[in-house]
Copies of this chain bind each other. A is one copy, B any other.
Amino acid sequence: MNCFESFQVKPGSRVKLDKIDPGFTDCYSDREKAIPVIQKLDERIRALQYLMYAEGKRALLICLQGRDAAGKDGTINHVLGAMNPQGCTVTSFKQPSQEELAHDFLWRCHKVAPARGHIAIFNRSHYEDVLIQRVHRMVPESVWSKRYGHINHFEKLLSDHQTLILKFFLHIDADEQLKRFKQRIDDPTKHWKISESDYTEAAYWDSYTQAFEDALDKCSTPHAPWFVIPANHKWFRNLAVAAIVTEAMESLNMRFPKPRVDIEAIKRKYHALDAQDIKEGLIKVRKKNQ
């Protein structure tokens, strides 16, 4: 299947999350069938990352959003973690600092936007400002309602700078979320990150659904599409994200830049010599020129 097409939120459409099956796994019956496919995609992503770096013309911004335990960290760890950390930065957007709050909501995101040739992964993103801030009424509607427009303009700015933008909503249901909370409780290496708010946030499930749907509807544009990824099965989530990243990067038709030097001339000049010859020859030239 073409994951890009299948999971993209078509611009102008109205998303109803409860009509999208979070347990969908396409033609893959189980994890074992998916693993080799994911590994191949990961290798391809790494090659495309190298090409993007070499070409130095384009950038890639990946935004990950989803409810608690939807798998944002897991996606980074198992799929996007396959990237070379050189040339790839991950920023986790947590509670804003005093300095960040003293600026507009896009300031802290713009600072860490990817440079040409580079990849930036946002674990949560500027969308927090129309999600948690809206659900918990941290700012009035008159403020958050204007943010969708600001987000679209900001993403257009990045896109006009040759930044490919891919935004993933990792879609799980309430039962899967509770199951994952229970697994955390059973794993002593995860106890340190458990807080009661994991559970109390569940009371806001429907408000979050509304806020996510609005963000998906208003901000899935041709230049910065949203994807709703069925994420109850971690392996299918990984496969779908890897496939979309690969498809999107392939479509850029990137090329290695031409060499800055005459490769054949370099060969003739140096490759008949051995290391000692080069060293001594060059030292002589250097001394003569001094």
Which residues of A approach B to under 8 Å, CB–CB?
Answer: 50, 54, 73, 76-77, 80-81, 83-90, 92, 121, 123, 173-175, 177-178, 181-182, 185, 188-189, 191-196, 199-200, 202-203, 205, 256-261, 263, 266-267, 269-271, 274-276, 278-279, 282-283, 285-286
Contact A203–B271 (Cβ < 8 Å): no
**Number of copies of chain A assembled together:** 2
How many Å lie between the Cα of A54 and that of B263 in the bound state? Answer: 49
Chain B residue numbers with a CB within 8 Å of A263 are 185, 191, 194
- Which one, B80, B194, B274, contacts A178 given CB within 8 A? B274
Known contacts A81-B84, A85-B90, A88-B85: does B191 contact A282 (CB below 8 Å)? Answer: no
Known contacts A203-B279, A260-B195, A267-B185: does B73 contact A77 (CB below 8 Å)? Answer: no
How many Å lie between the Cα of A92 and that of B89 in the bound state? Answer: 13
20 extra A-B contacts, CB within 8 A, seeds A185-B271, A196-B266, A199-B269: A80-B85, A81-B84, A83-B85, A85-B90, A85-B121, A174-B276, A175-B275, A178-B270, A178-B274, A185-B263, A185-B266, A185-B267, A189-B256, A191-B256, A191-B259, A191-B263, A194-B260, A195-B260, A203-B279, A205-B279
How many Å lie between the Cα of A121 and that of B88 in the bound state? Answer: 13
Chain B residue numbers with a CB within 8 Å of A76 are 84-86
Nearest B residue to A275 via CB reads B174
A277 CB, min distance to chain B CBs, angstroms:
9
Nearest B residue to A191 via CB reads B259
- Which one, B77, B256, B275, contacts A86 given CB within 8 A? B77
Contact A178–B275 (Cβ < 8 Å): yes
Contact B278–A202 (Cβ < 8 Å): yes
Chain B residue numbers with a CB within 8 Å of A274 are 175, 178
How many Å lie between the Cα of A263 and that of B195 in the bound state? Answer: 9
Nearest B residue to A174 via CB reads B275
- Which one, B80, B189, B202, B261, contacts A195 given CB within 8 A? B261
How many Å lie between the Cα of A101 and that of B77 in the bound state? Answer: 37
A88 CB, min distance to chain B CBs, angstroms:
5
How many Å lie between the Cα of A195 and that of B265 in the bound state? Answer: 12
Contact A282–B73 (Cβ < 8 Å): no
Chain B residue numbers with a CB within 8 Å of A90 are 85-87
Contact A261–B203 (Cβ < 8 Å): no
How many Å lie between the Cα of A260 and that of B193 in the bound state? Answer: 8
What are 23 A-B contacts defined by CB distance under 8 Å?
A: A73-B86, A76-B85, A77-B84, A85-B85, A85-B90, A174-B275, A174-B279, A175-B274, A178-B270, A181-B270, A182-B271, A185-B271, A191-B263, A192-B256, A194-B259, A194-B260, A194-B261, A194-B266, A195-B260, A196-B261, A196-B266, A202-B279, A203-B279
